Structure 1
Amino acid sequence: MTQPDTELRVSKIENGTVIDHVTAGEALRVLAILGIDGTEGETVSVGINVPSDRLGRKDVVKVEGMELSQDEVDVLSLIAPDATINIIREYEVIEKSRVDRPESVVGVLTCPNTNCITNAGEPVKTHFDVLDTGVQCRYCETIIRENITDHIET
Protein backbone atom coordinates (compact mmCIF):
# COMPACT_ATOMS: atom_id res chain seq x y z
CA MET A 1 0.00 0.00 0.00
CA THR A 2 1.42 3.40 -0.95
CA GLN A 3 1.60 6.31 1.43
CA PRO A 4 -0.82 9.16 0.72
CA ASP A 5 0.70 12.46 -0.33
CA THR A 6 1.00 14.71 2.70
CA GLU A 7 2.69 17.72 1.11
CA LEU A 8 1.69 20.19 -1.55
CA ARG A 9 4.73 21.72 -3.17
CA VAL A 10 4.72 25.20 -4.68
CA SER A 11 6.64 25.37 -7.94
CA LYS A 12 9.76 27.46 -8.37
CA ILE A 13 9.45 30.82 -10.08
CA GLU A 14 11.43 31.52 -13.22
CA ASN A 15 12.15 35.20 -12.58
CA GLY A 16 11.08 37.38 -9.69
CA THR A 17 11.35 37.70 -5.94
CA VAL A 18 10.87 35.37 -3.00
CA ILE A 19 10.32 37.10 0.33
CA ASP A 20 11.08 34.54 3.02
CA HIS A 21 11.05 34.61 6.82
CA VAL A 22 8.17 37.09 6.95
CA THR A 23 6.62 37.36 10.42
CA ALA A 24 3.80 34.81 10.61
CA GLY A 25 0.47 36.33 9.58
CA GLU A 26 1.98 39.33 7.76
CA ALA A 27 2.02 38.00 4.16
CA LEU A 28 -1.13 39.87 3.17
CA ARG A 29 0.37 43.11 4.48
CA VAL A 30 3.47 42.40 2.37
CA LEU A 31 1.22 42.12 -0.67
CA ALA A 32 -0.39 45.45 0.29
CA ILE A 33 3.04 47.10 0.52
CA LEU A 34 3.84 45.82 -2.96
CA GLY A 35 0.50 47.05 -4.27
CA ILE A 36 -0.54 43.54 -5.27
CA ASP A 37 -4.27 42.96 -5.03
CA GLY A 38 -4.78 40.37 -7.76
CA THR A 39 -6.20 42.75 -10.36
CA GLU A 40 -3.05 43.17 -12.48
CA GLY A 41 -2.48 39.51 -13.32
CA GLU A 42 0.62 38.98 -11.18
CA THR A 43 1.52 35.35 -10.45
CA VAL A 44 1.86 35.14 -6.67
CA SER A 45 2.31 32.24 -4.27
CA VAL A 46 1.72 32.83 -0.56
CA GLY A 47 2.49 30.53 2.35
CA ILE A 48 1.01 31.60 5.68
CA ASN A 49 2.05 30.14 9.04
CA VAL A 50 4.37 27.54 7.52
CA PRO A 51 6.79 25.74 9.87
CA SER A 52 10.20 27.39 10.31
CA ASP A 53 13.21 26.18 12.28
CA ARG A 54 14.34 29.76 12.87
CA LEU A 55 11.02 31.48 13.62
CA GLY A 56 8.71 28.64 14.65
CA ARG A 57 6.17 29.84 12.07
CA LYS A 58 6.67 32.16 9.11
CA ASP A 59 5.06 33.47 5.94
CA VAL A 60 6.58 33.24 2.45
CA VAL A 61 5.64 35.36 -0.60
CA LYS A 62 6.75 34.54 -4.16
CA VAL A 63 6.11 37.09 -6.90
CA GLU A 64 6.84 36.20 -10.51
CA GLY A 65 8.32 38.93 -12.72
CA MET A 66 8.94 41.53 -9.99
CA GLU A 67 12.10 42.75 -8.29
CA LEU A 68 11.66 45.04 -5.30
CA SER A 69 12.79 48.66 -5.21
CA GLN A 70 14.78 49.90 -2.22
CA ASP A 71 11.75 51.91 -1.05
CA GLU A 72 9.65 48.73 -1.06
CA VAL A 73 12.33 46.85 0.89
CA ASP A 74 12.58 49.72 3.41
CA VAL A 75 8.84 49.71 4.09
CA LEU A 76 8.78 45.91 4.12
CA SER A 77 11.43 45.95 6.85
CA LEU A 78 9.03 47.84 9.13
CA ILE A 79 6.60 44.90 9.31
CA ALA A 80 8.96 42.01 8.51
CA PRO A 81 12.30 42.81 10.18
CA ASP A 82 13.58 39.21 9.81
CA ALA A 83 12.67 38.87 6.12
CA THR A 84 15.07 37.56 3.51
CA ILE A 85 14.81 38.79 -0.08
CA ASN A 86 15.78 36.30 -2.79
CA ILE A 87 16.10 37.54 -6.38
CA ILE A 88 15.40 34.72 -8.82
CA ARG A 89 16.53 34.57 -12.46
CA GLU A 90 16.08 31.51 -14.65
CA TYR A 91 14.92 29.51 -11.60
CA GLU A 92 18.14 30.20 -9.65
CA VAL A 93 18.74 32.45 -6.63
CA ILE A 94 21.18 35.07 -7.92
CA GLU A 95 21.02 37.38 -4.91
CA LYS A 96 19.99 36.81 -1.32
CA SER A 97 19.87 39.53 1.32
CA ARG A 98 18.28 40.27 4.67
CA VAL A 99 16.24 43.42 5.05
CA ASP A 100 17.76 46.24 7.07
CA ARG A 101 15.57 48.70 8.92
CA PRO A 102 16.44 52.13 7.55
CA GLU A 103 16.93 55.12 9.84
CA SER A 104 14.14 56.90 7.98
CA VAL A 105 11.71 56.56 5.08
CA VAL A 106 10.85 59.43 2.75
CA GLY A 107 7.75 59.76 0.58
CA VAL A 108 6.37 56.27 1.17
CA LEU A 109 4.01 56.79 4.13
CA THR A 110 1.26 59.33 4.76
CA CYS A 111 1.03 61.13 8.08
CA PRO A 112 -2.25 60.48 9.94
CA ASN A 113 -2.14 63.97 11.48
CA THR A 114 -4.44 66.08 9.30
CA ASN A 115 -2.67 69.23 10.55
CA CYS A 116 0.78 68.02 9.45
CA ILE A 117 2.49 70.18 6.80
CA THR A 118 2.62 67.11 4.53
CA ASN A 119 -1.20 67.10 4.41
CA ALA A 120 -1.62 70.82 3.77
CA GLY A 121 -1.27 70.75 -0.01
CA GLU A 122 2.34 71.90 0.22
CA PRO A 123 5.00 70.26 -1.98
CA VAL A 124 6.57 68.49 1.02
CA LYS A 125 7.33 64.77 1.01
CA THR A 126 6.61 62.84 4.17
CA HIS A 127 9.65 61.92 6.24
CA PHE A 128 9.42 59.35 9.02
CA ASP A 129 12.16 58.34 11.42
CA VAL A 130 12.16 54.62 12.18
CA LEU A 131 11.87 53.79 15.88
CA ASP A 132 12.05 50.43 17.65
CA THR A 133 8.29 50.63 18.20
CA GLY A 134 7.11 52.21 14.94
CA VAL A 135 7.75 55.37 12.90
CA GLN A 136 7.64 59.06 13.80
CA CYS A 137 6.84 61.96 11.48
CA ARG A 138 9.83 64.28 11.34
CA TYR A 139 7.57 67.33 10.89
CA CYS A 140 4.78 66.95 13.46
CA GLU A 141 6.25 64.13 15.60
CA THR A 142 3.15 61.92 15.25
CA ILE A 143 4.06 58.29 15.99
CA ILE A 144 2.53 55.35 14.11
CA ARG A 145 2.91 52.12 16.09
CA GLU A 146 0.31 49.85 14.48
CA ASN A 147 -1.07 49.17 11.02
CA ILE A 148 1.78 50.92 9.24
CA THR A 149 0.53 49.46 5.96
CA ASP A 150 -2.63 51.57 6.30
CA HIS A 151 -0.40 54.64 5.79
CA ILE A 152 1.46 53.57 2.66
CA GLU A 153 1.18 56.17 -0.11
CA THR A 154 -0.46 54.78 -3.21
Structure 2
Amino acid sequence: MKKPRELKVKPIKNGTVIDHITANKSLNVLNILGLPSDQSKVTIAMNVQSSHMGNKDIVKIEKRELASSEVDQIALIAPKATINIIRDYEIVEKGKVRLLNEIKGLLKCPNPNCITNTIEPVTGRFYVIATEPVILRCHYCERLMEEAEIESQF
Protein backbone atom coordinates (compact mmCIF):
# COMPACT_ATOMS: atom_id res chain seq x y z
CA MET A 1 0.00 0.00 0.00
CA LYS A 2 1.33 3.39 -1.00
CA LYS A 3 1.95 5.93 1.76
CA PRO A 4 0.40 9.31 0.93
CA ARG A 5 2.84 12.16 0.47
CA GLU A 6 2.79 14.71 3.23
CA LEU A 7 2.35 18.24 1.97
CA LYS A 8 4.23 20.90 3.90
CA VAL A 9 3.87 24.64 3.86
CA LYS A 10 7.08 26.40 2.93
CA PRO A 11 8.76 28.08 5.92
CA ILE A 12 9.13 31.85 5.86
CA LYS A 13 12.48 33.59 6.18
CA ASN A 14 11.27 36.70 8.02
CA GLY A 15 7.83 37.64 9.31
CA THR A 16 5.09 36.47 11.62
CA VAL A 17 3.28 33.19 12.10
CA ILE A 18 -0.06 33.35 13.90
CA ASP A 19 -0.90 29.87 15.14
CA HIS A 20 -3.76 28.41 17.18
CA ILE A 21 -6.36 30.68 15.59
CA THR A 22 -9.89 29.47 16.30
CA ALA A 23 -10.98 27.35 13.32
CA ASN A 24 -12.48 29.40 10.46
CA LYS A 25 -11.43 32.75 11.98
CA SER A 26 -8.30 33.33 9.88
CA LEU A 27 -10.15 35.51 7.37
CA ASN A 28 -11.23 37.78 10.25
CA VAL A 29 -7.58 37.97 11.34
CA LEU A 30 -6.56 38.95 7.79
CA ASN A 31 -9.24 41.64 7.80
CA ILE A 32 -7.90 43.05 11.10
CA LEU A 33 -4.40 43.19 9.61
CA GLY A 34 -5.52 44.72 6.31
CA LEU A 35 -4.33 41.72 4.35
CA PRO A 36 -3.70 40.64 1.72
CA SER A 37 -1.70 43.59 0.47
CA ASP A 38 0.83 44.23 -2.27
CA GLN A 39 3.65 44.28 0.29
CA SER A 40 3.01 40.97 2.10
CA LYS A 41 2.91 37.37 1.01
CA VAL A 42 0.37 35.48 3.11
CA THR A 43 -0.14 31.75 3.59
CA ILE A 44 -3.35 30.51 5.24
CA ALA A 45 -4.14 27.05 6.53
CA MET A 46 -7.75 26.56 7.62
CA ASN A 47 -9.28 23.78 9.70
CA VAL A 48 -5.93 22.10 10.26
CA GLN A 49 -6.06 19.22 12.70
CA SER A 50 -4.67 20.11 16.12
CA SER A 51 -4.18 17.81 19.10
CA HIS A 52 -4.57 20.85 21.37
CA MET A 53 -7.66 22.46 19.81
CA GLY A 54 -9.28 19.86 17.57
CA ASN A 55 -9.11 22.13 14.50
CA LYS A 56 -7.32 25.44 14.06
CA ASP A 57 -6.23 28.00 11.49
CA ILE A 58 -2.70 29.26 10.84
CA VAL A 59 -1.61 32.49 9.10
CA LYS A 60 1.95 33.14 7.90
CA ILE A 61 2.87 36.67 6.90
CA GLU A 62 6.20 37.26 5.20
CA LYS A 63 8.27 40.40 5.87
CA ARG A 64 5.93 41.80 8.53
CA GLU A 65 5.94 41.87 12.32
CA LEU A 66 2.74 42.82 14.12
CA ALA A 67 2.18 45.94 16.18
CA SER A 68 0.88 45.44 19.73
CA SER A 69 -2.44 47.08 18.78
CA GLU A 70 -2.90 44.46 16.03
CA VAL A 71 -2.18 41.67 18.50
CA ASP A 72 -4.79 43.15 20.88
CA GLN A 73 -7.38 43.05 18.11
CA ILE A 74 -6.51 39.45 17.19
CA ALA A 75 -7.13 38.47 20.83
CA LEU A 76 -10.77 39.53 20.39
CA ILE A 77 -11.25 37.07 17.51
CA ALA A 78 -8.81 34.31 18.51
CA PRO A 79 -8.09 34.42 22.26
CA LYS A 80 -5.91 31.27 22.13
CA ALA A 81 -3.68 32.41 19.27
CA THR A 82 0.10 32.39 19.49
CA ILE A 83 2.35 34.86 17.70
CA ASN A 84 5.75 33.70 16.44
CA ILE A 85 8.27 36.21 15.11
CA ILE A 86 10.53 34.63 12.50
CA ARG A 87 13.95 35.97 11.51
CA ASP A 88 16.27 34.08 9.19
CA TYR A 89 13.98 31.00 9.35
CA GLU A 90 14.22 30.82 13.18
CA ILE A 91 11.60 31.63 15.82
CA VAL A 92 13.15 34.52 17.75
CA GLU A 93 10.10 35.49 19.78
CA LYS A 94 7.04 33.51 20.77
CA GLY A 95 4.05 34.71 22.72
CA LYS A 96 0.35 34.26 23.26
CA VAL A 97 -2.21 36.93 22.54
CA ARG A 98 -3.70 38.34 25.69
CA LEU A 99 -7.20 39.64 25.95
CA LEU A 100 -6.98 42.88 27.90
CA ASN A 101 -9.43 43.57 30.74
CA GLU A 102 -10.46 46.80 29.03
CA ILE A 103 -10.73 47.47 25.30
CA LYS A 104 -10.51 51.13 24.19
CA GLY A 105 -10.95 52.58 20.74
CA LEU A 106 -11.10 49.30 18.81
CA LEU A 107 -14.84 48.67 18.66
CA LYS A 108 -18.11 50.53 18.33
CA CYS A 109 -21.02 49.81 20.63
CA PRO A 110 -23.87 48.05 18.75
CA ASN A 111 -26.45 50.03 20.75
CA PRO A 112 -27.61 52.84 18.44
CA ASN A 113 -28.63 54.91 21.50
CA CYS A 114 -25.19 54.67 23.15
CA ILE A 115 -23.37 57.99 23.56
CA THR A 116 -20.51 56.55 21.44
CA ASN A 117 -22.87 56.47 18.44
CA THR A 118 -23.94 60.10 18.63
CA ILE A 119 -22.23 63.21 17.34
CA GLU A 120 -20.35 63.44 20.65
CA PRO A 121 -16.63 62.64 20.27
CA VAL A 122 -16.68 59.65 22.66
CA THR A 123 -14.34 56.70 22.12
CA GLY A 124 -15.71 53.18 22.55
CA ARG A 125 -14.69 51.51 25.79
CA PHE A 126 -15.53 47.94 26.82
CA TYR A 127 -14.85 45.62 29.72
CA VAL A 128 -14.18 41.92 29.17
CA ILE A 129 -16.89 39.95 30.97
CA ALA A 130 -16.00 36.48 29.62
CA THR A 131 -13.21 35.05 27.47
CA GLU A 132 -14.75 31.81 26.12
CA PRO A 133 -16.78 32.91 24.31
CA VAL A 134 -15.67 36.54 24.37
CA ILE A 135 -18.33 38.82 25.86
CA LEU A 136 -17.77 42.54 26.35
CA ARG A 137 -19.78 45.17 28.24
CA CYS A 138 -19.95 48.79 27.08
CA HIS A 139 -18.61 51.22 29.66
CA TYR A 140 -21.27 53.81 28.83
CA CYS A 141 -24.56 51.99 28.22
CA GLU A 142 -23.63 48.59 29.72
CA ARG A 143 -24.86 46.71 26.65
CA LEU A 144 -23.29 43.28 26.26
CA MET A 145 -21.54 42.49 22.99
CA GLU A 146 -21.00 38.87 21.98
CA GLU A 147 -18.57 37.25 19.54
CA ALA A 148 -20.72 37.59 16.41
CA GLU A 149 -21.12 41.34 16.96
CA ILE A 150 -17.40 41.71 17.67
CA GLU A 151 -16.45 39.78 14.52
CA SER A 152 -18.80 41.83 12.37
CA GLN A 153 -16.69 44.93 13.11
CA PHE A 154 -13.62 43.38 11.53
Answer whether TM exceeds 0.5 for this pair: yes
Query: Where does structure 1 differ by over 6 angstroms across 4 or more consecutive aligned residues?
Result: none
Aligned positions of 1:1-150 closer than 5 A = 6-36=5-35, 38-132=36-130, 133-147=134-148, 148-150=150-152
Residues 13, 62 of structure 1: 8 Å contact kept: yes
Q: Match of 2:147, SS?
A: coil
> Residue type matched to 1:7 in 2?
E
Q: Percent identity?
A: 48
Task: For 1:44 and 1:33, locate their aligned partners in 2 and report how far apart those are by CA, in whole Å.
Answer: 14
Letter paired with 1:150:
S
Cα offset, 1:5, TM superposition: 5.5
3-state SS of the aligned residue for 2:110? coil
Tell me if the contact between 1:32 and 1:149 (Cα under 8 Å) persists in the aligned partners.
no
> What secondary structure does 1:151 align onto?
coil
After TM superposition, give the deviation of residue 78 of structure 1 in Å. Answer: 2.0
TM-score by length of 1: 0.87
Q: Distance in 2 between matches of 1:72 and 1:118?
A: 22
How far apart are residue 65 of structure 1 and its match? 2.0
Structure 2 unpaired stretches of 5+: none
Count of equivalent residues:
150
Task: Write out per-residue CA displacement over residues 67-111 of structure 1, whole angstroms, 9 at most, x where no aligned residue.
Answer: 222222122112212111001112211100011111011111111
Structure 1 counterpart of 2:11, one-letter code: K
Counterpart residue type for residue 137 of structure 2: Q
